[in-house]
Structure formats: structure tokens, C-alpha cells
Amino acid sequence: MSPRPEIVERRFRGRIMGVGTTSGVRFVVGMWERSPFGAFTDVFVEHPDGSSVLLAPDEIVAAYVSGTYRFDTVSVVDVSARRTARGLELDAGPLRASIDVGTISPLGRVLRIVPKPIARDPRWLSVIDPVARLVAPGAGTAGTAGGGRREYYGVTGAHDVTAVSGSWAGEPLGTLAPLDPPVAFGFASMPRVPQVVDVETTIREPAA
């Protein structure tokens, strides 16, 4: 019997924000306070024609993230996400956005029921994945990723996104719109209603 392959586990803790706009440009911002690559922010962008772009802050992040999710284009650009009294100011290459964040969302109130250590545990996330997909179509808590990786989303809090303004490559984004249909970067999307969630992402992969 051949030995089982060694598995490496990587954890990313921070926030993910999903935003739809009336221009048809949708984007997901990952603001990672702790990760194997240190603190960083990256942005996944999907255009009205379905094409996708990764905006990454450096080549190392670009290589790892593009090996985990699906993109048509990868760009290394300066990425800045500055928290403000109203929400977030985002500056990432061709994307400029001011995003307002409101109070805790209905999803956030439900998430408070589960203790955080359990909510982040991959075993729990595997069990509840079918329920999560029913409650929030397009979303999920466990699934496969690129490079033979297995991924788990442990969401522990959520707030509503209430407004957005800005531009992509100089063209206005328009106003806030639902993430409908779901974005298609990986096995799961953000909820249909634009939100920012507190999350710990666990990625298990074969050792190099």
C-alpha cells in the first residue's frame, strides 16, 4: 500500500467584500490580515461578458491565487484598501471605488449563533455545506479548488454593503446591484445581497 500524500494546510484570516454594480462590473475584495504571505489585499473582478481579472499586489500572491481560482487575466498592480468612517476606499489599478458599509446583516445575526472555533473548523464546514448552498444559492462552505486543493470558508460575521461609486478603467461603475448571477471564480460565490464578511479560509493541498 502506497503512503498517503502529505497535506499542507494554509489559513487566511480577514474579510471578504462582494459588490455588484449597475454597470455589470462585479468585484470581490479579499482583505487578509493574516496569511502565509503576510497581510495583503487582492481583488477579483468579473465583467458583464463573464470575463474575469485578478488584481494582485505582487507576483507571489498572483501565482498562488491564480492557481487556486479561475481567471482570464492576471494583473499585478498596487492595491490599497483604506477603511473609512463610511466603509472602504479601494484603489487597485484600473479599479477605483468608494464603498459604504452598514449594520450587521440578517446573515450576520444567524452567524452569531455558532461559536467561532466551530464556525472555522473544516469538519463543521464540510457538514453544513449543503445547507449553506440552499440558504444562499451560489455560496458554499467547502469545495475543490485548483492545484488539487480543498478549500473551506469559515464565515463568522457579516455586514451589509449599502452603496458604491467609482470607476473601472475610467468608466463609471454605476450604483449598487445584487451579485446575481453568482460570480464564478471558484466553487462558491458571495451572497446575492452585497456584503462584507469576516472569514477564515482554510486551504489544504498536497505538499510540494
> What's residue 4's pLDDT?
60
Domain coordinates in residue numbering, the chain: 7-206
pLDDT in tens, 26-35: 999 999 999 9
**Torsion angle, CA of 12/82/28/52, rounded to 10 degrees?**
-110
> What's residue 133's pLDDT?
79
pLDDT (average), residues 118-134? 89
Question: What is the distance between the alpha carbons of residues 56 and 29, in angstroms, rounded to a whole number?
Answer: 10
3-state secondary structure 128-155: HHHHHHHHCCCCCCEEEEHHHEEEEEEE
Residue 204 has pLDDT above 60, yes or no: yes
pLDDT in tens, 94-122: 999 999 999 999 888 988 899 999 999 99
pLDDT band at 131 (very low <50, low <70, confident <90, very high): confident
pLDDT in tens, 73-94: 999 999 999 999 999 999 999 9
The grid coordinates listed for 137 are 444559492
pLDDT (average), residues 139-164? 90
User: Which one, of 175, 170, 58, 157, lies nearest residue 106 by Cα?
Assistant: 157
The pLDDT mean for the chain works out to 92
Question: What is the distance between the alpha carbons of residues 146 and 117, in angstroms, rounded to a whole number?
Answer: 26
Question: What is the distance between the alpha carbons of residues 82 and 68, in angstroms, rounded to a whole number?
Answer: 26
